Structure 1
């Protein structure tokens, strides 16, 4: 009851007070303190609510994570630790884990002690909250909706969530890159008088042209503190993606790409995989991905040749490309909900992928594979890399097959020989087999390795096959989901399709169409 009264009191105050939220990686100290100090110096006003949201990362693969296992932790007002919801690590003692969390929180509170006095002097209410096992962006969005939030400030470790926040919150966003320096995504209510024309120009012309993004050195603290909460960023969940609009796909100049990516700023890098750097950017007020790679990379011409021939609503279609002689670039629409793999890794996101959504994803990705294998006019295309991390999610959890770096076009103008037919069959069966693994990922909620790891993949399959063959689907189902009427049938049919696909070989041939008809719809 006491915690509920505290929450109600905070929400009542928030209707009158402005709020600044700082989301930090609670496992790290340096970047976190820089973000907190930057916010206090530049955007927190007297009388504000100043919420510091510390998120303990629980990524199994993160070297600096203090929790090498999966957990979910509730969080309370003023840093009160509530409970552990689930742990799936046999060697972890919940009591020891609780003590470790309390110790970490104690350390954080001690490091913030000098700030309490500063906040108290300026009538700023400092509130601490901690969480583990949750998506940092979703937590921040939820908190911003409960408060009269003017600013969200992310530390450098959470910079990848910047574009995800854009369009989901109605406030200014800052990513603190280093002490006294931040990259800003300012609201769309900018008044000309708020920007001082006599101020030195600290940012390039390219960054000026990048919609809604500025550098903090272009503003003084007074201007930043007095930026009001904006009107919502215009967002139509049913808007046409750029790749389907008139005039696309098209050739881009390098100068255009510089404006789209804010000069290829490090803050806009989402990932670096297999020598391909993925930047995020804005084109015609629409988020896009820009994949950059060396022109010597044969994958560029292969992917360009393939994607220039495909058009399907469940494939991440091409927005455009650029070739400069030394480098090459491919542009795509940005999937606003990430990939299926990312969603399955976070419990909070995985729970939103209920059985009906997963069933729909299975059907639509099956349809995209059927299009590639059987409906492309210039000859079949095999993907060769179907798994949860190669399926992007757009508005309404609409899935799109992506990551065509390993794809191969089986050109229809080549005279077929016995060896060639055998090769084509093997490639088709490979996609069908991978589709079976993808169905298994949807059923279990566990992802295979993003890079083909035969040992790990085979171990997962060998563990699942006996259960699939014996119809023991309940032992495979993602336990994070609550079952409703009709869900059992969807799981059973996906499992039946997965079994058929995983057993495909030269003696058990199966096309993707047969898989969809015989498996998904469970027809003999």
Structure 2
């Protein structure tokens, strides 16, 4: 029987495959292409991100370990700071920045070393701001910067040493047996005013200190005054719309300008208010804020006492009457004009200096005290 059948020979044809193994091989070849390629792309992106992160971290750490300021003043290592302070053995005081230690350079030059505390409200930003400011300001009534330390997590400012501490220590009696006479107090006020005048007029751009107070007025061996602590200082443009700077309120309660406190607008008149409070403190030796008084704020208290006519309570009793009444009362007028709640009614520092210098040689005579400022207690920031 002849059956019509079609026979196809596949033997020897290398392009054809009739086994299951051939099909599996083709699938295996396609699998890496469709699955592995996307995984490789994702892995490459992840590696690039990690490399960029590591590189950025290295650059950041290098920028903190290298000096960011080109200066002739010395950059000290933390090991050198420990050597000069004998492992931080002699603290001189403590402020918002941290503890200040006594130190010695090369066994001869005395210095004050201000070390940034890890728990300080002020940080690296304030540290850097203070260094940069002190590198460009030079005045006999501003504390001089000897050098600084900026090593990893250790930050320190090295200043000239002021052997008589700060003004507050002398007024408060912490220096036993030390009572500043009126002539010395007035001279300290004038020198502090000269330092502020330089910041307001002599600096380019002009500067506002923002924390003028008795603990920031340092005294050398001859009781010459120098302003310290510039961590809160801000620059501003003189004249025009830029004469005021909107900023977060900073300063010390009692010395803080009430207008600045309410508006957050900072100008040199804020320093002038603080100086007025400082001058009242010098005259009265009263606390700037004292909740036991009928009027806690020192400016309000002075106004209250004057209106009652009991002016004998105003002058520091430690002076025991050894002062020229005209000089004291005129200085009090200057203080009250500086502490006027309205910044527009406050004098500038040049006017303050002229007035204070006039009173250094005033004749010993009585004078009627005139107080023109009106104080509203609601304007002053209250302690919480």
Fold shared, TM-score > 0.5 on shorter chain? yes
Q: Is the Cα–Cα contact under 8 Å of residues 236 and 245 in structure 2 kept in the other structure?
A: no
Counterpart residue number, 1:161: none
The equivalent position to 1:379 in structure 2, one of 201, 205, 215, is 205
Counterpart residue number, 1:250: 74
Q: Does 1:356 align with 2:183?
A: yes
- CA deviations on 1:86-145 (whole Å, 9 max, x unpaired) are xxxxxxxxxxxxxxxxxxxxxxxxxxxxxxxxxxxxxxxxxxxxxxxxxxxxxxxxxxxx
Q: 1:518 to 1:397 in 2, by over 3 A?
A: closer
The equivalent position to 1:482 in structure 2, one of 303, 314, 320, is 320
Aligned residue runs from structure 1 range 307-318, under 5 A: 307-318=134-145
Q: Is the Cα–Cα contact under 8 Å of residues 292 and 330 in structure 1 kept in the other structure?
A: yes
Aligned residue runs from structure 1 range 253-264, under 5 A: 253-262=77-86, 264=87
Structure 1 position 457, deviation (Å)? 9.4
Counterpart residue number, 1:460: 298
Distance 1:512 1:350 in 2: 33
- TM-score (normalised: structure 1): 0.46
Q: Is the Cα–Cα contact under 8 Å of residues 251 and 321 in structure 1 kept in the other structure?
A: yes
The equivalent position to 2:284 in structure 1, one of 440, 444, 447, is 444
Q: For residue 483 of structure 1, give the secondary structure of its aligned residue in structure 2.
A: coil
Distance 1:457 1:298 in 2: 37
Structure 1 position 489, deviation (Å)? 2.7
Bigger radius of gyration, 1 or 2? 2
Distance 2:320 2:279 in 1: 19
Q: For residue 353 of structure 1, give the secondary structure of its aligned residue in structure 2.
A: coil
The equivalent position to 1:291 in structure 2, one of 114, 117, 130, is 114
Counterpart residue number, 1:25: none
Structure 1 position 348, deviation (Å)? 6.5
Q: Is the Cα–Cα contact under 8 Å of residues 339 and 393 in structure 1 kept in the other structure?
A: yes
Distance 2:123 2:182 in 1: 43
Aligned residue runs from structure 1 range 51-90, under 5 A: none
Q: For residue 100 of structure 2, give the secondary structure of its aligned residue in structure 1.
A: strand
Q: Structure 1 stretch 364-373 or stretch 474-483: which is displaced more?
A: 474-483
- CA deviations on 1:306-353 (whole Å, 9 max, x unpaired) are 111111111111111111122211101221111110111118757531
Counterpart residue number, 1:113: none
Distance 2:219 2:150 in 1: 28
Q: Does 1:434 align with 2:271?
A: no
Distance 1:397 1:364 in 2: 10
Counterpart residue number, 2:223: 397
Q: How many residues align?
A: 267
Structure 1 position 469, deviation (Å)? 6.9
Q: 1:507 to 1:456 in 2, by over 3 A?
A: farther
Distance 2:125 2:295 in 1: 27
Q: Is the Cα–Cα contact under 8 Å of residues 356 and 490 in structure 1 kept in the other structure?
A: no
Q: Is the Cα–Cα contact under 8 Å of residues 387 and 448 in structure 1 kept in the other structure?
A: no
Counterpart residue number, 1:334: 161
Structure 1 position 365, deviation (Å)? 0.6
Q: 1:472 to 1:365 in 2, by over 3 A?
A: farther
Q: Structure 1 stretch 353-362 or stretch 514-523: which is displaced more?
A: 514-523
- CA deviations on 1:405-429 (whole Å, 9 max, x unpaired) are 22112268xxx863x3333884211
Structure 1 position 511, deviation (Å)? 1.0
Q: Is the Cα–Cα contact under 8 Å of residues 169 and 175 in structure 2 kept in the other structure?
A: no
Provide the aligned C-alpha RMSD in A.
3.3
The equivalent position to 2:130 in structure 1, one of 286, 292, 303, is 303
Distance 2:146 2:172 in 1: 28
Q: Is the Cα–Cα contact under 8 Å of residues 388 and 447 in structure 1 kept in the other structure?
A: no
Counterpart residue number, 2:48: none
- TM-score (normalised: structure 2): 0.62
Structure 1 position 512, deviation (Å)? 1.1
Q: For residue 352 of structure 1, give the secondary structure of its aligned residue in structure 2.
A: coil
Q: Does 1:513 align with 2:350?
A: yes
Q: Is the Cα–Cα contact under 8 Å of residues 134 and 144 in structure 2 kept in the other structure?
A: yes
Counterpart residue number, 2:193: 366
Structure 1 position 356, deviation (Å)? 0.5
Q: 1:363 to 1:271 in 2, by over 3 A?
A: closer
Runs of at least 5 residues in structure 2 that lack an aligned partner in the other structure: 1-70, 247-264, 363-384
Q: Is the Cα–Cα contact under 8 Å of residues 111 and 160 in structure 2 kept in the other structure?
A: yes
- Structure 1 runs (4+) deviating above 6 angstroms are none
Distance 1:481 1:347 in 2: 16
Distance 1:312 1:330 in 2: 18
Q: 1:299 to 1:257 in 2, by over 3 A?
A: same
Aligned residue runs from structure 1 range 188-203, under 5 A: none
Counterpart residue number, 2:375: none
Runs of at least 5 residues in structure 1 that lack an aligned partner in the other structure: 1-246
Q: 1:504 to 1:515 in 2, by over 3 A?
A: farther
Distance 1:493 1:441 in 2: 15
User: Higher relative contact order at CA 8 Å, sep ≥6: structure 1 or structure 2?
Assistant: 2
Q: Structure 1 stretch 384-393 or stretch 507-516: which is displaced more?
A: 507-516
